Structure 1
Amino acid sequence: MNKTERNMMNGMMDQRIRNYVAATYMIHCLNKTILERGSQEENGNTSRPRRMS
């Protein structure tokens, strides 16, 4: 495997890792929002959700 091929492989891996991290982060944020909404509904809190600092 020559240098160009190795660089291309590394670039593809980087992209895949970046996509994976982004997807995991988005799912994490979505789960957090859903959990917060659920707990607010249980408490009967109808006020608009507070902004996270």
Structure 2
Amino acid sequence: MKLIEASDRVFDFDITRCHYAETYKEKGLGQIGHLLSCNRGGTFCQGLDPTFHRS
């Protein structure tokens, strides 16, 4: 993870390595790994905080 900004209003970071992606690729599921893990995180966070923004 590369931290870009952290303040009382913003926590911005880039993920530079993903263990989930690596595992899915090892199991031959690299083409659908994003459907199994990546896409659910943003919706989950919006459920906790409707102002959440994922770019």
Q: Where on the TM-score scale, by shorter chain, does this alignment land: which range?
A: 0.3 to 0.5
TM-score normalised over the length of structure 1: 0.33
- Higher normalized helix content (fraction of residues): 1
Greater C-alpha radius of gyration? 1
Q: TM-score, normalised by structure 2?
A: 0.32
